[in-house]
A and B are shown apart, each in its own frame.
Chain A
Amino acid sequence: MTTALHPAGQTMEPREFKSDLKPIWCPGCGDFGVLQALYRALSGVGRPPHEIAFVSGIGCSSRIPGYTTAYGFNSLHGRALPIAQGIKIANPELLVLVAGGDGDGFSIGGGHLPHAVRRNLDLTYVVMDNQIYGLTKGQLSPTSHRGLQTVTSGYGSLEEPVNPLLYTLAYGAGFVAQGTPADMPGLTSVIEEAIRFPGFAFVNVQSPCVTFGEAEWQLKAHKEHMKPLAGLGHDPADRLKAMALAAQYGEELYTGVFYRNPKPAPTYDALVAQRQAELRDRALPRERILELFRKDGGR
């Protein structure tokens, strides 16, 4: 199944994935970088746009499917993951991408994430994490740090943020990575790796909000402070070490692959196909379906 999904060797240009729609994002928004990295990653993967379903929720970043030539679904706030799973189960041949913001994925849609992870469909989930609600103009987000002052927290946030990296690792994700548009080659590479990973793959992208984000934590700061995991000698097969590093989310900006399961578990979509193959011969022709009720006059 995996080989059919990710054939190597087809050549697609990044521009073939660019649509005519003009992004609504603010000049300098990190999401532009994510979009460029995605074009390049998809070019590297080589699947044509019509074989890609790209699902998002609601938020600035959730506009992203419309800026690609793939089949897009800009759905509801928090509901991208369930919709994407339905698509993948219905047609496992498709390459299914999911994207959105931190509020979409970890707050209103947070209840879906652990289940999407444990179900392990072959999906790639890219979150553009900017620690703020941009589309509604600057309220607290689930990844805002304690004490952050926003229009809904004038005296400072009273809450600890969620830790997307640690959560997804704990839920059992087979692939967890982080990137930043401050490092385009690195970001492109983790997105492409995530797409090629056979199973649920999660990429957290630190994608700063130029308008409502903290002034001192923009791409320039990312460049200065980011620590590529490859440079630290991290072994991405080591899940516990990955969790230790992930625990420093909010303090350290590690980039690259935290964890890649060296023995990927079977995907849900593969198991569905297997079950269908096992049971297909037992189907009654559908015009005879009511014979299911005829066994002995009672069931």
Chain B
Amino acid sequence: MRTDLVFGMAGSGGDGIVSAGESLIAAAAAEGYHAIMTKSFGSQIRGGESSCRVRVATTEVLNPGGILDVAVALNWDDFMKFGAELTVGGSTLVLYDARTGVRPDALPLVGVRPRQVLAVPIADLSREHAGSERAKNSVILGLIAGFSGVAREGLLDGLRRKLAKKGDEVLRSAERAFAAGEAWAASHPLTEPMPLAKPAGGTAPRPLADGNEICAAAALFAGCRFFGGYPITPSTEIMQFLSREIWKYDGAVLQAEDEIAGIGAAVGASFAGVKAMTATSGPGMSLKSELTGLATIAELPLVIVNVQRGGPSTGMPTKPEQADLYQAAFSAHGDAVRPVLAPTSVTDTFWTTVQAFNVAERYQTPVILLSDQEIAQRKETLDVIDTGAIAIEERRRPAEAELQDYARFALTASGISPISHPGMRGGNYLASGIEHNERGAPTASGAVHARMNDKRAHKLDPLKRRRDLFRVFGDESAPLALLGWGSCAGMCREALAHARDLGLRAKLLVPYLLYPVAEEVYEDFFASVRAGLVVEQSHQGQLYRMLRMFLDLPRGVRSLARSGANPFMPFEVAEQLQRAAEALQRDGEDAREPQE
């Protein structure tokens, strides 16, 4: 029995490939499997090529997976456009529409010999059993159910629910197409069957969500009552979700006239005393950077979500990349230090978003939540999230006594000054982007400016000691290390398991806090490390270089970085780590497990 299967499919718009993937993951989730689905499109508004990959497993899944176990191509032109995302290897079963006329031994896959290749009359089966080619995706689901046994009942249930509104005939046609796919699979046994085992954790249904929805839900949980934003791929679903839900919580969404007005209104709402958020992607962050600086100097809590996509400029709007880290940390002018947090999965986007609000409110600062297209738009079965265990923080309001002779920007030991808001008698003050003294009066004094910069930077110091914003996996005294953040973190966890299989003593650090750089946490982690890789999807290796600004890394730690939309595969990261280990051995050190 298999415990983990990765399906990848591609076709043209209208083939219903993404819809088939959605049915598959919904069915898997309904039967208690763990699953992740990513979608990928050409940039056309409608039509054009589309693809998805669905990973279904009996235990926790950490990333969308590497080489496909099952590849489905409705036509090869479309499939090949997703070469980097739909990797076919020697272990892959390839199913493709016989109508493409391509011979099984002449697939356009260069240098790959798939385990088995089957030309399936997908379009013909659809036409024959459903009367048109519109049920090709139901044939595919039938094939998948037939070959792997995955979620057969769930798939049929899903078809019924989905098509209930479209009338009996459409539903019957889809069911016949599904059955035809299943029957075709039954009459073409695989050389190596791939039945999927039952979920290890029982068959209770698992909730399913994408990262943007979870981010929005977490914002509501944290008490967010205002969202100002402007539509931009791939972050828009956050605004869409909140525009349905936030009113129920006495909040409001403002779809602003531009990115600047979106964050401007959020800054205003925060000044008025409510928790506020804006969300965007790289181009929007560029536009928002002046107001981000304003929130820093006016010491106003604010959560700014950047769902990263490929850049610079318009870049690749529908593809993931991790190249906005420098921007997040450094884009506002002046000495503006602001926290940057990054989630690593759909599930932990919930916790990380709540932390972003907590940090913003406690330290009276804008916080940037760096998500990315993969986490934000992939669907994932959620782990259990114990909301009762997540504390929610509120900004420190002035007590009655502190409102006597109130100084909004009072220099306190912690650097945090109680913050009033309009409506609070005695708390009246001037908020400003101009440098100000403790009472908020504008100043051009160098001495006051230095003290205020000091206050704004050092109030964040305790954040660097929050070990819960970092996770370490593996053997703490290992000489080999991986460091992965954001959507690379899950992949690195899997790479760590591969490394263990290769006999390597390795560990992994996943930072949720990227900035300010927590020097001590990294120094502790790297103390045992002789060699390692900082793994990220950016051309420059931005985290690696940023860490080197603030601390000395062991000489054997280097950057493993490449541009977005070229996802890393866990086994290749493990192999790179093995090479690093071999280099160590040449230097006379051993990074292998002690032999029993």
Interface residues of A (CB under 8 A from B): 21, 48-53, 55, 58, 63, 65-66, 69-76, 79, 81-91, 93-94, 111-112, 114-115, 272, 275-276, 278-280, 282-284, 286-290, 292-294, 296-299
Contacts and interface: CB of A to CB of B under 8 A. Distances in A.
Given A50-B426, A50-B428, A89-B269, 19 more contacts: A50-B427, A53-B422, A66-B441, A71-B421, A71-B431, A76-B294, A76-B433, A81-B264, A82-B261, A82-B268, A85-B254, A86-B266, A89-B265, A90-B226, A90-B273, A276-B251, A290-B350, A293-B217, A297-B30
Interface string B1-41: 00000000000000000000010011001100000000000
B285 interface: no
A288 B221 CA distance: 9
A72 B423 contact: no
Contacts of A58: 433
Interface residues on B, range: 35 or more
Contact of B291 (A48, A79, A287, A299): A79
B423 A91 contact: yes
A294 B225 CA distance: 23
B442 A298 contact: no
Interface stretch (B205-213, B394-402, B585-593): B205-213
Given A71-B428, A289-B387, A283 B249 contact: yes
Nearest to B222: A286
17 contacts: A50-B427, A53-B271, A63-B442, A71-B422, A73-B431, A74-B433, A74-B442, A76-B433, A82-B228, A86-B267, A87-B268, A91-B273, A112-B261, A276-B248, A292-B245, A298-B26, A299-B208
Contacts of A279: 247-248
Interface string B392-431: 0000000000000000000000000000011111111111
B276 interface: yes
A70 B428 contact: yes
B582 interface: no
A289 B221 contact: yes
A297 B206 contact: yes
A81, A90, A288: most-surrounded residue (chain B CB, <10 A):
A90
Contacts of A50: 422-428
B280 to A, nearest CB: 14
Contact of A298 (B158, B252, B425): B158
Contact of B260 (A79, A284, A293): A79
A75 B422 contact: no
B220 interface: yes
Contacts of B424: 50
B428 A287 contact: no
A290 B422 contact: no
B272 interface: yes
Contacts of B214: 293
Nearest to B382: A293
Contacts, number: 210
Contacts of A91: 272-274, 421-423
Contacts of A115: 256-257, 261
A87 B217 contact: no
What's the dominant secondary structure at chain A's contact region?
helix
B276 A90 contact: yes
A290 B430 CA distance: 39
A65 B256 CA distance: 25
A289 B294 CA distance: 32
B225 A90 contact: yes
B258 interface: yes
Contact of A297 (B29, B248, B266, B423): B29
A53 B206 CA distance: 47
Nearest to B249: A283
Contacts of A272: 247, 252
B208 A290 contact: no
Given A76-B294, A112-B261, A90 B387 contact: no
Interface string B300-331: 00000000000000000000000000000000
Contacts of A84: 268
Contacts of B431: 71-75
Nearest to A284: B248
Nearest to B261: A82
Nearest to A51: B423
Contacts of A86: 226, 228, 254, 264-272, 276
B250 interface: yes
A21 B290 CA distance: 26
Contacts of B247: 272, 275-276, 278-280
Interface string B128-164: 0000000000000000000000000010001001000
B260 A82 contact: yes
A180 B280 CA distance: 42
Contacts of A297: 26, 29-30, 154, 205-208
Contacts of A63: 442
Nearest to B432: A74
Contact of B441 (A21, A51, A283): A21
B388 interface: yes
A71 B423 CA distance: 9
A299 B162 CA distance: 10
B21 to A, nearest CB: 11
B434 interface: yes
A280 B247 CA distance: 7
A296 B207 CA distance: 8
Contacts of A286: 220-221, 223, 249, 387
